[in-house]
Structure 1
Amino acid sequence: MATNKNAMMRYMVLDNCFRNIGRRYFIQDLIDACNRQLHEIDPNSKGISRRQILDDITFMESSEGWSIELTRHRDGKRVYYRYEDPSFSINNMPLNEVEVNQLKTAVEILSQFKGMPQFEWIHELLPKLNQGMSSANEQYTIIDFDNNQYLKGIEHLGFLHNAIYYKKVLKFKYQPFESEAPFDVILHPYFLKQYNSRWFLFGFNPATNRYDWNLALDRMVAIQETEDAYKLNDRINWTDYFDDIIGVTKPIDSKTEAIVLHFPERTGRYVESKPIHGSQKAKWISANTLEVELDLIINFEFERLMLSYGESVKVVQPIFLQERLVQKFKLALEQYRLD
């Protein structure tokens, strides 16, 4: 099957042309029909070539395509194309082998998202897709996402997703790590976010009047729906909310800080290839030192990230962050002092 992104669009257009007995479609007519559809999708498109259309027809006639039965009718020196059976359409054909393999790949990727009831059908669909496929085409998993299916609280994921979708107010029994007993929290759920292999639920908390209150799924002891009226989110655009932070914590009245970091050569190469944050600007100020500039809110997660680099990072500014990390390193060193 042709791999360019507009291939299926062309096949659909050609299919409509081939079964239209009210008009004769010559090769230029087929090109024009595809180009009209393509320009609706992409006004800047340069159009489809004659060779591309001929290749598309060859594919549609092949066993890898739909094995269409196409007749070529002569009209003088020109040829127009039409299905032998005008009632035929590729839309009525079963999936071909290429399409089945493409669908299997997509399904296998989706199957890695555990805990979502919306995806439970996937595990039933895979055996059906395998039916009729030769053993030579047997597929094995060739991609794996960082996904901990044994993560505590992941069983709540589907329920919470539905609560957001159907706008249900929830009551939680919630127990943070530092709390000895669970307590009640009311939340109007808006958004689910994964960070560092943990899931967090964001929403409106009436007790604090905050629209970005978040709860970790692994600290949820119990959940139940309430009959409270759901308060719509008219404050936060979740697409932009996380742009100026790392992780999920955004302190009240926080503002971004200009941060300068120095990394030695080996770590610098790593940070250069995998930026810490979208605001990152990096330059080598010497053969052995990468200077990184960031513009973000300094939160708990960012401090933890800096601590994880150990001796492989130096905070140049802001000074208050430098001093805070120095103090934490001193406390860490105390843990290893021998009596």
Structure 2
Amino acid sequence: MPSNKNAQYRYRVLNDCFRDKMHRYTFQDLLDKVNKCLYELGGSGSEIKTRQLRDDIAAIRNMLPKHEVYLETPILEGKKCYYQYDPVDYSLFDDDLTIEDVHKLTSTIDMLKKYSGFPSTTWLEEVITSLELRFGIKANPENLVSFGQNEQLKGLEFLSTLIDATINHATLELCYRSSKGTESTETVYPYHMRQYNNRWFLIGRKKGKTEVDNFALDRIQHFKVINAPFVSNDIADFSKYFNDIIGVSVPRKDAAKDVETIVLRFNPRRIQYVLTKPLHPSQMRINDTDISIKVIPTRELYQQIFSFGPDVEVIEPQGFRSEFAKKIQESYNKYFAVQDSCTIDF
């Protein structure tokens, strides 16, 4: 394989054309296809001429296994000549991506690019460029997909560095401000990054602790990678860690709660929304208005249910229903206490 990235990119494009069962490419088609991809990758001035394409085709011929795969003469059809591998399933590259795979990867790159506008995401730009070069594809330049990410959210500037630290098992010295406003500096071993409700969280273990904590990025004041031994994760399986909750707040072992079956009744006009956008993977439909979920009651669960306002009612279990009713009463008292204290003079 050539060391020149641009040449390898061209070979990828030609390789996909030669093994495409749905289309046949003439020499001019190949030139147009390669130049279109090169233009999308590098802009004007990156296109090639006829001579370069002939050299590329000759180079690919020389790479083919002798007496096994052929591209020695174009396939004749009428007055037109078409280039195609024989057998057509052959690929010059070991990854052997299908056309469908390429389309899926293109969509993935396109979605990744939506995050590339964030501060300090050079690493993501490099990954995208590497994928484009390696697989000879280019994401759709049109703005077809977007995410509801608040780019002004505090802490996003830490995202890429924290991901790097998590991947590379780097120990952190982290200054964190709690929800109560108190600040503390801790040695933290990062294990996992999670996004929930348009916020990012670092999941890790504090030095000397036996359980993991979550750190909202918008509450991290500053941090640095320190030269200290890293303590590996032997306490949480993050493929299952969040299975029993909504959100990121997993109860600690000393305050562990059991999973409960929560039954919720929705307004008939709202139930379809919940059925098409389940609250949790465990969600089951009971009847025309009721659904159930099996979760540990957490702060995020209350917030999720409250977001439906008067369109939802907690049916079971009775303890959770009573707790939810208390919170509704507290909210009610705040509004009507203000109303009752107002007097009108005539």
CA offsets 1:233-256 (integer angstroms, 9 cap, x no match): 122211111111110001122221
Verify: 1:257 aligned to 2:260, yes or no: yes
Structure 2 residue ranges without an equivalent (≥5): 1-11, 35-52, 59-67, 75-83, 86-90, 94-100, 342-346
Report what 1:164 is aligned to.
Answer: 166
TM-score by length of 1: 0.66
Report what 1:334 is aligned to.
Answer: 333
TM-score by length of 2: 0.65
Q: Structure 1: how far apart are the matches of 2:329 and 2:22? A: 72
Matches within 5 A, 1:237-248: 237-248=237-248
Counterpart residue identity of residue 108, structure 1: D
Matches within 5 A, 1:23-172: 56=21, 58-61=23-26, 63=29, 82-84=70-72, 106-113=108-115, 114-115=118-119, 116-121=121-126, 139-172=141-174
Change (3 A) 1:208 1:102: closer
> What secondary structure does 1:56 align onto?
coil
Report what 1:323 is aligned to.
Answer: 322
- Structure number with the higher strand fraction is 1
Matches within 5 A, 1:192-207: 192-207=193-208
Report what 1:293 is aligned to.
Answer: 292
Q: Structure 2: how far apart are the matches of 1:123 and 1:203? A: 28
CA apart distance, 1:85: 6.6
Change (3 A) 1:156 1:60: same
> What secondary structure does 2:228 align onto?
coil
Q: Is the CA contact 2:186–2:207 (under 8 Å) kept in the aligned structure 1?
A: no
CA apart distance, 1:306: 1.1
| CA-atom RMSD in angstroms | 3.9
Query: Which of 164, 177, 180 is residue 179 of structure 2 equivalent to?
Result: 177
> What secondary structure does 2:191 align onto?
strand
Structure 1 residue ranges without an equivalent (≥5): 1-8, 16-52, 70-79, 93-98
Q: Is the CA contact 2:175–2:220 (under 8 Å) kept in the aligned structure 1?
A: yes
Q: State the percentage of identical aligned residues.
A: 25
Verify: 1:228 aligned to 2:225, yes or no: no
Q: Structure 2: how far apart are the matches of 1:106 and 1:100? A: 10
CA apart distance, 1:165: 1.6
CA offsets 1:255-282 (integer angstroms, 9 cap, x no match): 2111111111011111111111000000
Counterpart residue identity of residue 82, structure 1: Y
Aligned length: 261
Q: Structure 1: how far apart are the matches of 2:279 and 2:22? A: 48
Q: Structure 2: how far apart are the matches of 1:235 and 1:100? A: 38
> What secondary structure does 1:224 align onto?
strand
CA apart distance, 1:206: 2.7
Q: Structure 2: how far apart are the matches of 1:60 and 1:153? A: 50
Counterpart residue identity of residue 228, structure 1: A
> What secondary structure does 1:184 align onto?
strand
CA offsets 1:94-122 (integer angstroms, 9 cap, x no match): xxxxx999887554321211343311347
